[in-house]
Amino acid sequence: MTPHDYTFLQGFLKDRSGLILSNKEYLVQGRLEPLAKKHGLNGISDLVEKIKSGKKDIETVVVEAMTTNETSFFRDKNPFDQFSETVVPRLVKARATKKSLRIWCAAGSTGQEPYSIAMCLKEMGALLKDWRIEITATDLSREVLAKSEAGRYSQFEVQRGLPIKLLMKYFQQSGETWQINADIRAMVKHKQFNLLSDFGALGRFDIIFCRNILIYFDEPTKTGIYKRLAKALEPDGLLALGAAETMIGLTNAFVPSPGLRGFYAPNPAAAA
Amino acid sequence: MKMCLVVDDSSVVRKVARRILEGLDLQIVEAEDGEKAIEACKNGLPDAILLDWNMPVMDGLEFLHKLRRMPDGDRPKVVFCTTENDVAHIARALEAGADEYIMKPFDKDIVAAKFREVGLI
């Protein structure tokens, strides 16, 4: 990969996905070199030439390869404990008449996060009996969404964060892989979606998980997404961010939710 | 510092597990079969036990049954770590009182996730 190729890919990926690459040559090399080989090309320079010549299928696979992120079941554990112990019980009280909850996983990736949420809700049993629960998992990559829809994971994947009792309860073993049960899969609706686009068509949500994805965007892009996320939430809804993420100095669209780590509420003062 | 007893007949596995667990700030004691693990527990119960299934002299399941019958034997968190990766074995381990279950091969992330799950790190 030449410096020109890298510069081109930086601009191309920012335009198409908002992804910011600074000093990430190793990441580009590591992800696109195997992709080039898979498509019978000599290397990243050939991939760049294909993109420049307008090969849409190559554009898509390059964006997907660069935007697929590390994930695991119950990643960081604490957000899911808070979700089950505080966030959902609080919303259940507030929605007692409506009996409906809409949850959005904005970077659903290969499904570990949306299915972790679905398992948390299933574990609540009677509390959510007769409720209409909608979990929408979106991602830019069609490939990871297809994996998420299949709900099939390797032995390594099911051991990262997934308690053994939940593995036994909600998965079926098939040789070396484990597939999440159909009733849990049915709780999650999948949709290809670019966070740079308008959120209006998705409607309003009670909870949005947007964890460990905005770290890849530049500040103006992040600020714009935060503003649109605030509008996509019900006034008493909550946004969950990754443990290392902060919006301090970026936007006043949200305020930290008291007593909840990593959860943010839309700021009524900013919405006014 | 919390103490973890690593029970496995393979010295290589014990060495790898020791390196990972010491990296998680746990103090390590080793035993090469279930009988030696029982002796180690009589000298003082550890906080956690990383337990292989198939071992000579006394296997992991028999050890677990004996451990849970010892005074305070319900206290140590037991994480099975075995090549037995089918639901029937997992179910038997849980029924016998295992807290978590690792299917070999394992890596640092898996061990850390399982020990976090049982509240040891």
- Domain spans, chain B: 3-117
A165 and B94 in contact by Cβ < 8 A? yes
pLDDT one-digit tens code per residue, B62-81:
999 999 999 999 999 999 99
| pLDDT-based confidence at residue A271 (cuts at 50, 70, 90) | low
Report percent pLDDT > 70 for chain A: 99
pLDDT one-digit tens code per residue, A5-36:
999 999 999 888 888 888 888 889 988 998 99
Residue range B3-117, CATH number: 3.40.50.2300
The ipTM of this complex is: 0.95
Q: Domain A3-67 adopts which CATH fold?
A: Chemotaxis Receptor Methyltransferase Cher; domain 1 (1.10.155)
Which of A128-137, A211-220, A227-236 shows the lowest per-residue confidence on average (mean pLDDT)?
A211-220
pLDDT one-digit tens code per residue, A218-252:
899 999 999 999 999 999 999 999 988 888 889 99
Look at residue B115 in the predicted model and tell me its pLDDT.
96
Residue range A78-271, CATH number: 3.40.50.150
* Chain A: closest CA distance from residue B91 (Å): 8
Q: Are strands A254-256 and B48-51 parallel, antiparallel or unpaired?
A: unpaired
| Interface list for A 61-120 with B (CB within 8 A) | 72, 77
Residue of B91, B110, B117 with shortest CB distance to A163:
B117
Nearest to A242 by CA among A265, A255, A261: A261
pLDDT one-digit tens code per residue, A46-77:
999 999 999 888 998 898 888 767 789 999 89
Residue B22 CB-half CA count within 13 A: 9
Identify the residue whose tokens are 């994971």: A153
Chain A CB contacts of B87 below 8 Å: 168, 173
- Rg, C-alpha atoms of chain A: 20
Chain A CB contacts of B91 below 8 Å: 168
What does chain B come to in residues? 121
Q: Are strands B100-103 and A188-192 parallel, antiparallel or unpaired?
A: unpaired
So where are chain A's domains? 3-67, 78-271
B109 and A160 in contact by Cβ < 8 A? yes
Look at residue A272 in the predicted model and tell me its pLDDT.
60
